[in-house]
Amino acid sequence: MLRNTYIYQYLATITGSFSILSCGVNQAWTSPYLPQIINGSYPQISMTSAQGSWCAVMAPLSAPIGALIGALLVDRLGRKYTTLLMAPYTLIMFIFLAFANNLVLISLIRFVIGIVEGVLYTSLPMYLGEISAPEVRGILTASVQFGALLGTLLINVFGLYFSIFTTSLIFAAVPLLHFVTYFWMPESPYYLIKKNKKAEAKAALILLRGSVDVDSEMHSLCEAVSRQESDRKTKMSELVTVRSNRRALLIFVILCTTRKFSGNSPFLFYTAQIFQMAQGSLHPHLSVIIFLTIQIIAAMLSLYLLDRVGRRPIILSSTVVCVITLGIIGLYFYLQDHHVQYVENLRWLPITVLVCYIVFYNIGLELSPVVYVGELFPTNIKAIALGFAETFAAMNGIVTAMLFSILADNYGMFLPFWIFATCCAVGLLLIAKFVPETKNKTLEQIQMELIAGASKSNS
């Protein structure tokens, strides 16, 4: 049973994450449908493999634009209403996708969807980080990415059995559900205090905490916002000129780069193709569904562990296993490319190792950046920081997806896996050195520790 203290925090998380579920659907839409379009299942849509690769990256290509828009909106409309505003756009794009009959229109739809995703990945993690009590902040902020994973699974299941038209209309119900449920959730108390709406902030805090005894926390929030907002004319340059912000940025860059260069974007865009090349005994799309189901289970385990074991231990163990499994997968494809004897008897190996990879990747690396990005930055710079974070993540996603495609096509599937394994190994060392533990700490405590750590490192 949920404690009354947390009920509205969980409700806000669930209803807000419906928006990210739509993002997951759109991100992974290419996995079931691009192979079908390229193979001629939709004769009205002419698309080559190269055109399909560009169509796949249209959404992450435009996500930085959305991140910049989101960074502007969250301090003007508020965290809640910025997220809510994206529901009508998502609904319209699903309807357009249902009737899309050419490559240009599909690419344009995915470009607009990428902008919407950029806004959502800026506003929702900020909102959840600010409304959450320290002891549940990990599970609530990580639920953002869990919603994306669930959307990824659902589109692969529906894409196996239904047409683009049918699935688009089915998933058009998700932004509607998001709008009518999330509308009733309270705004972030941090934002309301920042706008000098202290009575509304206290009312929101009472609702979120399930108690009228919030005077002490309200006082702490007011002091924190006052300190962090002391310079009202915050400049983008403060993200790198202020020592504590620079340290927070370094931590995020390490986590995000390690996550993206562990190969998650190629797996998302080209899941079915990877299983086909592995020549596994299961139908590629059935393998994908099993793969994604395991991913969801692992993410659920991560949600359980984040606020119990802590962030650092699960991120470090996750990265270690990713290094090992990526190296093994690369070795298998190397042996396959060089026609080594008996490799045909090892068809079970890549899928088995990939399952191991995805379990440990989702326990740690998958959810960690979205948790930390909601915790590390002060109120006055948070909008700018999250805008940068989504831009950086999107660009990394594009680079790794294109890198995977180019290297796999020209040198063999083994090379990108070995490169990803090397990147994870470097990331492991950097995480061990720089990434702090934030379990059970208030946002203000985290800020004070970052300031102290930055001062110590520069003394």
**Mean pLDDT (the chain, rounded):** 86
CA atoms within 13 A on the CB side of 396: 21
pLDDT beyond 80 at 233? no
Per-residue pLDDT of 161-183, as tens digits, reads 899 999 999 999 999 999 999 99
* Lowest-pLDDT choice from 232-241, 306-315, 379-388: 232-241
In tens, the pLDDT along 273-305 reads 566 655 555 666 676 787 788 888 988 888 888
Please give the pLDDT value at position 226.
82
Burial of 135 (0-12, 13-18, 19+ CB in 10 A): middle
Which of the 8 DSSP states describes residue 130?
H
Of 7, 18, 11, 116, nearest to 59 by C-alpha is 116
**Helix 414-434 and helix 243-260, axial crossing angle in degrees, nearest 10:** 150
pTM of the model as a whole: 0.82
Q: What is the DSSP letter of 261?
A: T
Q: What percent of the chain has pLDDT over 90?
A: 37
The tens digit of pLDDT for each residue in 7-39 reads: 999 999 999 999 999 999 998 898 888 888 888
Residue 1's pLDDT is: 41
Higher pLDDT, 351 or 87: 87
Convert the pLDDT of each residue in 47-57 to its tens digit.
887 788 788 87
Terminal C-alpha separation, the chain:
48
Residues 6+ apart with CB under 8 A from 359: 294, 295, 297, 298
What secondary structure letter does DSSP report for 337?
Answer: H
Identify residue 26 by its one-letter amino acid code: N
- pLDDT mean over 86-95: 96
Top pLDDT among 52 and 208 is at 208
Most confident stretch, 30-39, 60-69, 198-207, 365-374: 198-207
158 to 148, 286, 440: CA distances (angstroms):
15, 12, 39
**Ranges 10-14, 189-193, 261-265, 294-298: which has the least confidence:** 261-265
For the chain, domains (ranges, CATH) are: 4-185+231-457 (1.20.1250.20)
The residue type of 385 is A
| pLDDT at 454 > cutoff 80 | no
Of the two residues 354 and 261, the one the predictor is more confident about is 261
332-381 pLDDT, tens digit each: 888 888 877 777 777 778 778 878 888 999 898 888 888 888 788 887 78
Does residue 159 contact residue 167 with C-beta atoms inside 8 Å?
yes
Give mean pLDDT, residues 392-414: 81
pLDDT in tens, 97-120: 999 988 899 999 999 999 999 999
